[in-house]
Structure 1
Amino acid sequence: MHVQRLVSFPMYDFPEVRHYTIRFWNAVVDQLAKEGVPDLRETIVPDPACEKSVAEGSLLLGQVCGYPLTHAYSGQLRVIATPCYSTPYSSGPEYCSVVVVRKDSTYQTVADLRHTRCAVNGYDSNSGMNMLRALVAPLSHNGRFFSKVFATGSHKSSLDNIASGNADCCAIDCVLYTLFLRYDVPEAKQTRVLPTPGFGHKRHRAALRANAGRTSLSIRGLASLALAYPAVSGGPIRCGD
């Protein structure tokens, strides 16, 4: 069966920036077509985390989180570059997560979050789970720190749980949090960033340069990367008894 090849950038695509994502996607696909790449899918196909396209072998160019890259997608994808984003929390190929709490909460340090309820977007997320796990690990007791950890399905849902009081903290990809604030996502407006020391790491994402939509999506350019990804090893965050 003939399979059209898919270009997908799902990581920072949400309704408020959909117009810019489409512009960026069109620019990339147009450039690939000019370079003679055949069998390109001519419309955007919803494909969260590129799961379907990787499984069926139709993904040509995509963007994925570093933790799935080295775990669920190990050996299935080849890293070609990472976008250089510009945010108040990071710049260039380096990135970080931000620890987020309600604006009216009394938490001032990461240590204050002991025995609180933590929302993660997914147990396979580098920014929402793996980075936070590494941050609280030195503060844990017998491998436990939070009283409860639960998955929400997305960074936006994690913020919603913080805003509604169902969770006390979460870790959010700094690029996504910047875009949420820039485009007035209500859940983000009810939160604040908790100061954290050195909460950053390089991320691998396959991508291609295109001008359209870059500024609106905070993309500055691209940086090439070695294939080795120094992701923090270990399992999901464990909650307290």
Structure 2
Amino acid sequence: MTTRSDPRWRLALPMYNLTTDLGRAWERLLGAVVDGLRQRGWRDAMDIVAAPPDLIGFWRSSDLLLSQSCGYPLATVLGDAVRVIAAAEFDWPGCSGVQYCSAIVVAEGAADSLEALRGKVAAVNETHSHSGMNALRHTIAPMAQGGRFFERVIVAGSHLASLRALRRGQADVAAVDCVTLALAQQEAPGALAGLRVLLHTAPAPGLPLVASRRLDDSQAADLLAVLQDLPVAVPSLMARLGLRRFSSIGLGDYQPILDMQRSAQSQAYPLLA
């Protein structure tokens, strides 16, 4: 049972809201988390919110009860500033346990190999994204020359925007995580019209569910237990989101993401370029 003297928390799951309906489904999942904590005696105010644009600041906030982070900022920027609670196991192609990978996506009839992408334009969702940037950089690094491979790299702002850039001919390649790709195929298949998967990147741990360091061990245990109860509490909702279960994971489990960064750096390819 929580006993904080300043009992107010925020929850948001901002990373896979590809459509309005999906956004509502993720909010319902958070509602089930709040209900589960209430059943465990929590009396704190728990507000389901829209995540602000400054996600790094949001993840670092002292009133954060639960959110998805990306593994790359967790490993490189956030670190011990947050408490890692769990990671999701998805039932989508390219996912295995808490591991996931990115699909390297190109236009149909375009590049048939990585080498064919040399001198082309890459789109990334964000420069601090593992799935969109770090995984692609790790894949391209052995082929880079003088620290370059692409003509240029554009920052699209989201995975869906990267796919849009491919469809419009504004980019030639993008790396999109397998969960986003599967949800797009299910919810917005037009986003993939005229596109195909060239290959997949190396696997890495999926998005961590993080909370404020203000949570004590008992509260964190409650939160993990509620997450692990969700397949029984809301089975149809879990299936709708392609979720199997949530598994305990720690900061150290994200070392493979740093290893991929360091591998690219060791090959004189510190920046995706």
TM-score by length of 1: 0.89
Q: Which amino acid aligns with 1:221?
A: R
C-alpha displacement of 1:190: 3.0
Once the two structures are TM-superposed, the CA of residue 52 in structure 1 deviates from its matched residue by 4.4
Partner of 2:238: 214
Which of 13, 24, 30 lines up with 1:25 in the alignment? 30
1:8 and 2:12 equivalent?
yes
Match for 1:233: what amino acid? Answer: Q
The residue aligned with 1:167 is 171
Q: How many angstroms apart in 1 are the aligned matches of 2:196 and 2:83?
A: 36
1:201 to 188, 200, 204: 204
Q: Show structure 2 runs of 5+ residues with no match.
A: 1-5, 211-226
Kindly state the Cα deviation for residue 214 of structure 1 after the two structures are TM-superposed: 1.1
Number of aligned pairs? 237
Q: Does residue 143 of structure 1 match 2:143?
A: no
Q: 3-state SS of the aligned residue for 2:112?
A: coil
Q: Would the aligned equivalents of 1:127 and 1:172 in 2 still touch at CA under 8 Å?
A: yes
CA distance in 2, matches of 1:56, 1:199: 32
Confirm or deny that 1:116 pairs with 2:140: no
Instruction: Answer yes or no: is the 8 Å Cα contact 1:49–1:64 preserved in 2.
Output: no
Contact 1:128 1:173 in 2 (8 A): yes
Deviation at 1:136, TM superposition (A): 0.3
Distance 1:90 1:56 in 2: 30
Give the deviation of 1:21 after TM superposition: 1.2
2:271: which partner in 1? 237
Would you say 1:225 and 2:246 are equivalent positions?
no
Is 1:187 aligned to residue 191 of structure 2?
yes
The Cα offsets for residues 41-75 of structure 1, whole Å up to 9 and x where unpaired, read as 34433345744433442211111110011123222
The answer to whether the aligner puts 1:102 opposite 2:107 as a matched pair is yes
Equivalent-residue separation in structure 1 for 2:205 and 2:18 (angstroms):
23
> Which entry has the higher C-alpha Rg, 1 or 2?
2
CA distance, structure 1, for counterparts of residue 166 and residue 205 of structure 2: 26
CA distance in 2, matches of 1:121, 1:178: 17
Alpha carbons of structure 1 residues 204 and 187: separation in structure 2 relative to 1, 3 Å: closer
| 3-state DSSP of counterpart to 1:195 | strand
1:80–1:225: 8 Å Cα contact kept in structure 2?
Answer: yes
In the alignment, the residues of structure 1 paired with residue 74 and residue 155 of structure 2 have an alpha-carbon distance, to the nearest angstrom, of 19
Unaligned runs of 5+ in 1: none
Give how far 1:186 is off: 2.0
Matched, 1:84 2:84: no
Q: Distance between the aligned counterparts of 2:169 and 2:59, measured in 1? A: 36
Looking at structure 1, the residues matched to 272 and 70 of structure 2 have their Cα atoms a distance apart, in angstroms, of 21
Amino acid at match of 2:99: E
Structure 2 length as normaliser, TM-score?
0.79
Stretches of 4+ aligned residues off by more than 4 angstroms: none
In 1, Cα distance between equivalents of 2:76 and 2:45: 27
For each residue in 1:29-48, what CA deviation from the matched residue of structure 2 results, as whole angstroms up to 9, or x when unmatched? 11122222343334433345
RMSD of aligned residue pairs (Cα, Å): 2.2
Specify whether residues 40 and 173 from structure 1 end up closer, same or farther in structure 2 by C-alpha distance, changes over 3 A only.
farther
Which deviates the most, 25-34 or 181-190? Answer: 181-190
Q: Of 37, 41, 44, which aligns to 1:39?
A: 44
Give the Cα–Cα distance (whole angstroms) in 1 for the partners of residues 18 and 34 of structure 2.
20
Structure 1 letter corresponding to 2:160: K
More helix by share: 2
Q: Answer whether contact 2:90 2:97 (CA < 8 A) is retained.
A: yes
Query: Partners of 1:159 and 1:43 in 2: how far apart?
Result: 29
